[in-house]
Structure 1
Amino acid sequence: MRVAVGGFLHETNTFAAGHTSYADFATPDAWPGIVRGDEISPAVRGLNLPMAGFLAQAETLGFDLVTTIWASASPSGLVTQSAFESIVGELVGRLAVAGRVDAVFLDLHGAMVCEHVADGDGEIIRRVRKALGPEVTIVVVLDFHANITRLMVETADLLVTYRTYPHVDMEETGRRAAALLVDASSRPYKAFRKLPYLIPLHWQSTLAEPMASMMAIVKDAERAPSITSAALAAGFSLADFDECGPAVVVYGNDREAVDASADRLERAFLEREPAFAGELLEPSEALERARSVRGTVLLADTQDNPGAGATSDTVGVLRAMIEARVADAVIAVICDPEAAAAAHAAGEGADITIALGAKSGRSKEESVVATYRVERLGDGNFVGTGPFYSGCRMQLGPMAQLRIGGIRVVVSSRRQQAADREMLRHVGIDPASHRIIALKSSVHFRADFAPLAEQILIVVAPGENVADPERLGYSRLRRGVRIQPLGRAFEPRGGER
């Protein structure tokens, strides 16, 4: 088979200030910047990414590959019209000159919202379909947090989603998509079910109930000989548009069996709605509870998770740590290029008096002005070693470990979710030797840090990944969808939607 491949990934927090520009896609962080043609394979090789897995499996299967463009940016605000049109235009343009292809593989996220297009991913697939015609097979990998839309289901022949959160199976999902591509050319039957409630990120982990048993049902569905593939996406609730929320899609060669399987998954989701909730703590409450725990306590600073579009520079947890005079504690990673630059200018061992954090101004906080000891410096270039960021060539700019009392603060110059122990080791911190570890992450940190923990607490401090959906000003959801499990139903203002 002659197969074209491309990717364009963004998870859009429509409530986050600012926009995501072409430059944001061009700048590498944990993942590469924009890569094209023959640059794609070496750029993603060895990384936990769907494109890496697809390319590796495609080689085994003997596909004749046409590589186009791959682009990714950290979760953030609306994608600009200019960035979207430039990257999609290049993707479609490269496909148009590629000659005959039997199939296309697209590595997408599924929660992209643009200035001018609400369903960014559906629009990408639609344009590829329009350019190549109805006969070409289109297989798409989507993130576990995808907001799957009817347009995506109708225009793609097969949607394949990650099955883990933390996403330790991204590379594996790419391999799975390659193996399914041949069967997808036979145009399997599809069944699509959209769920009537949204799930905040911090309750979506597949390592815990109720999502763990949901994923077991998904895998069980595929054991039926008539079912080709079953996909579940938990949705990204910070994308305010009408088709936001969880969904299931089932594919197979028997229409009745496909519909029955989708119905079973939908019922399982509905039955588990009350279980998609948990405890949220203020920083001071979490620190007080941590005092009574003998082992290591992980604090998830979920609202400042840059992996959901937050700034990674809020200081609510740090301020609470200082006020509580905790010892043997770490907080990571505060993005503050000015503080990192000051630390590098002063050098290791120096004491510097600086205003740390809250530089973006979006959290309405004051920086923490204090004197910090510069314990260790780093250039921000290292390789991820944990299950989620495995093999990722991090480029976080100048980094520093600053100490204030018994608290060590990891500072970077670029935003990146604190989900890999190497982010701490790079500046001289052994996570296993600390009792309280605060991480700017919602769930991905569990992949590498959870084995250290006696207890994990979800903390609510300032940040744009708002944990309580009741505080969000939704305006574009579909009528009747519950904005959180067992929550109130959305009612649009000013008329019908």
Structure 2
Amino acid sequence: MASRPVIAVAGLACETSTFSASRTEAPAFHPRRGDEVVEKYPFIQPGSPLGEAVDWRGALIGHALPGGTVTRETFETLSAEILSRLKEITASVALDGMWFDIHGAMCVEGLDDAEYELLRRCRGVIGPDVLVSASMDLHGNVSQELAHQTDLITCYRTAPHVDVAETKERACRNLLDLINRRKNGKAFRPFKAWIPLPVLLPGEQTSTRDEPAAHIYAAVPVVEATEGVIDAAIWVGYAWADEPRNRAVVVVTGWDKEAISSGAEKLARTFWEARNDFSFVAPTGTFSECLDTALKSDKRPYFISDSGDNPTAGGSGDVTWGLTQLLERPEFKEESGPVVIYASVPGPGAVEKAVNAGVGAVITVTAGAEVDDIHAGPLTITGRVHSIKHGDRHAGIEAVLQVGSIYAILTKLRKPYHLERDFTELNLDPRSADIVIVKIGYLEPELYNMAKDWMLGLTPGGVDQDLIRLGHKRIIKPMWPFDRDFKEPDLSSRIIGMSDMDLASR
């Protein structure tokens, strides 16, 4: 019986805003090592087709909640461990491939292309012959250098991302096919057609639920099905980082140069011609306008996105501006007022005080603005402790304070609120609330299905939806929509073919 191919798994993932005041440290990545890596993904575990066909070797993966720039010390520490573990693997067995499990929008102090740099270092250990397949978020960035270092590269095709596992499995399945092709004596390094687009838009204008992204991404599997093509992908790019690589990109991978070039150019042209059609996924307004509209509406629950400090896009999560504005509204001063849930503001000291006082106690606490005090300072509030929850993976401890008819969620550490149970486990019923305000951009599926109506609040923070207001200085211009009047861009394919000589020289 022939031995199974050996594939290592490594990567670091963190969507990071260079406009956020926070910094991302090593513990935020929750690193998994060795067998823990394989245990994370059912599709490579024993008993699954890929699990039975491949000998998977976990090096180290780390997936951090989106946030501020990753410190250089964190990157160097985790990168060094990845390299060390890869050396251990290659010392004991011949490696056929590596699955590079990344996001693609990780910004590191002193680096402009962190994922490329990490893969370059990995190549120094695994060598030029090992085949590499990268899976990414469509909000990642693909520089020409990153594309060159990979043999296969793909990304999600939905936003919100409901095809995460599907994308990662596709990256692994295509990698195995490539390895088997090599073992059968056939050409095993495909070509990639790479096209950068001078477009940089936030996810809230490019959701695949809506047009024009819906029809743009519907074209991806059509190109992929073309003979001679292995994979097709479109990256929207990440709008809240100020690096030269940040922009939309199309990559089509395959054996037929003409087929991949034609497919890539069709996708790029479709994207570019739709640039004027991108708009926000919901009605927008100032925070005050959103509250006014919600109060007048008879749709319940009415959701409002406090989008500028969205922790799942890279916001620090502790901007107090939204909650401060909410507490000043006279409509919510009395307990008999419209029920509002607000999620959330970190305040470790406030949460500790709530825990010590217990449910039902009336306390005065100060929370927020420990990291980002640019837009508003710490907030002091007096309220009744409604509920307390221990042990959340992100928040650690959560406490709900009732102030008038407002139920404000305070956390020990920042946390995204995407699921109905995030509220019900705090003895809150979002379905019966009048208004639910969440620090988020587009609503994640459970919230979207729950909301009877919603608005996107254009609020301040490290992931401000008003990109012009943020003040990018290092992106390659001209860039839509920062620039509106510039000549037709070059949308022709750049063919990237990776030879062993190319890799050995890098």
TM (norm. structure 2) is 0.86
User: Which secondary structure does the structure 2 equivalent of 1:269 belong to?
Assistant: helix
Over residues 88-138 of structure 1, what are the superposed CA-to-partner deviations in whole Å (9 max), with x where a residue is unaligned?
122122222323111001111111121122100011122222322222110
User: Which secondary structure does the structure 1 equivalent of 2:233 belong to?
Assistant: strand
Corresponding position of 2:183: none
Higher mean C-alpha deviation, range 334-343 or range 312-321: 312-321
Is the counterpart of residue 7 in structure 1 residue 15 in structure 2? no
Contact 2:308 2:462 (C-alpha < 8 Å) held by counterparts? yes
Cα 1:485–1:398, aligned 2, differ >3 Å: closer, same or farther? farther
Is the counterpart of residue 284 in structure 1 residue 268 in structure 2? no
Contact 2:198 2:477 (C-alpha < 8 Å) held by counterparts? no
Corresponding position of 2:184: none
Is the counterpart of residue 321 in structure 1 residue 326 in structure 2? yes
Corresponding position of 2:99: 105
CA–CA distance in structure 2, aligned partners of residues 487 and 93 of structure 1? 50
Deviation at 1:437, TM superposition (A): 0.8
Deviation at 1:61, TM superposition (A): 4.5
Deviation at 1:201, TM superposition (A): 2.6
User: Which secondary structure does the structure 1 equivalent of 2:380 belong to?
Assistant: strand
Q: 1:249 aligns with which of 247, 251, 254?
A: 251
Corresponding position of 2:220: 218
CA–CA distance in structure 2, aligned partners of residues 58 and 143 of structure 1? 24
Corresponding position of 2:498: none
Gaps of 5+ in 1: 26-32, 45-50, 382-393, 490-497
Q: 1:378 aligns with which of 376, 389, 392?
A: 389
Corresponding position of 1:21: 25
Cα 1:220–1:417, aligned 2, differ >3 Å: closer, same or farther? same
CA–CA distance in structure 2, aligned partners of residues 291 and 123 of structure 1? 50
Aligned residue identity for 2:480: R
Corresponding position of 2:275: 273
Contact 1:202 1:302 (C-alpha < 8 Å) held by counterparts? no
Aligned residue identity for 2:365: I
Q: 1:68 aligns with which of 53, 59, 81?
A: 59
Deviation at 1:330, TM superposition (A): 0.8
Aligned residue identity for 1:442: G
Cα 1:377–1:18, aligned 2, differ >3 Å: closer, same or farther? closer
Gaps of 5+ in 2: 180-187, 333-337, 488-506
Aligned residue identity for 2:211: E
Cα 1:173–1:53, aligned 2, differ >3 Å: closer, same or farther? farther
Contact 2:231 2:254 (C-alpha < 8 Å) held by counterparts? yes
Cα 1:120–1:13, aligned 2, differ >3 Å: closer, same or farther? same
Corresponding position of 1:435: 434
Cα 1:91–1:409, aligned 2, differ >3 Å: closer, same or farther? same
Contact 2:223 2:263 (C-alpha < 8 Å) held by counterparts? yes
CA–CA distance in structure 2, aligned partners of residues 81 and 252 of structure 1? 36
Deviation at 1:471, TM superposition (A): 1.4
CA–CA distance in structure 1, aligned partners of residues 361 and 486 of structure 2? 53
Q: Give matches, 1:272-421, under 5 Å.
A: 272-278=274-280, 279-295=283-299, 296-322=301-327, 323-326=329-332, 327-381=338-392, 394-421=393-420
Corresponding position of 1:200: 202
Contact 1:344 1:377 (C-alpha < 8 Å) held by counterparts? yes
Corresponding position of 2:189: 187
Contact 1:303 1:464 (C-alpha < 8 Å) held by counterparts? yes
Cα 1:455–1:486, aligned 2, differ >3 Å: closer, same or farther? farther
Contact 1:273 1:486 (C-alpha < 8 Å) held by counterparts? no
Q: 1:167 aligns with which of 153, 161, 164?
A: 161
Deviation at 1:487, TM superposition (A): 8.2
Q: 2:136 aligns with which of 142, 149, 152?
A: 142
Deviation at 1:455, TM superposition (A): 1.8
Aligned residue identity for 2:116: G
Q: Give matches, 1:27-46, under 5 Å.
A: 33-42=30-39, 44=40
TM (norm. structure 1) is 0.88
Corresponding position of 1:479: 477
CA–CA distance in structure 2, aligned partners of residues 89 and 359 of structure 1? 31
User: Which secondary structure does the structure 2 equivalent of 1:77 belong to?
Assistant: strand
Over residues 423-453 of structure 1, what are the superposed CA-to-partner deviations in whole Å (9 max), with x where a residue is unaligned?
211211122111211111112x321101112
CA–CA distance in structure 2, aligned partners of residues 159 and 276 of structure 1? 26
For the aligned residue pairs, the C-alpha RMSD in angstroms reads 2.1
Deviation at 1:300, TM superposition (A): 0.9
Corresponding position of 2:125: 131
Cα 1:485–1:303, aligned 2, differ >3 Å: closer, same or farther? farther
Deviation at 1:55, TM superposition (A): 4.8
Aligned residue identity for 2:458: V
Equivalent pairs, count: 462
Cα 1:52–1:108, aligned 2, differ >3 Å: closer, same or farther? farther
Aligned residue identity for 2:195: R
CA–CA distance in structure 1, aligned partners of residues 288 and 308 of structure 2? 15
CA–CA distance in structure 1, aligned partners of residues 382 and 70 of structure 2? 38
User: Which secondary structure does the structure 2 equivalent of 1:165 belong to?
Assistant: coil
Corresponding position of 1:151: 145
CA–CA distance in structure 1, aligned partners of residues 316 and 479 of structure 2? 28
Contact 2:66 2:312 (C-alpha < 8 Å) held by counterparts? yes
Corresponding position of 1:29: none
Is the counterpart of residue 94 in structure 1 residue 94 in structure 2? no
User: Which secondary structure does the structure 2 equivalent of 1:15 belong to?
Assistant: coil
Corresponding position of 2:463: 465
CA–CA distance in structure 1, aligned partners of residues 86 and 368 of structure 2? 44
Computing the radius of gyration from Cα coordinates, the structure with the larger value is: 2
Contact 2:294 2:435 (C-alpha < 8 Å) held by counterparts? yes
CA–CA distance in structure 1, aligned partners of residues 193 and 403 of structure 2? 56
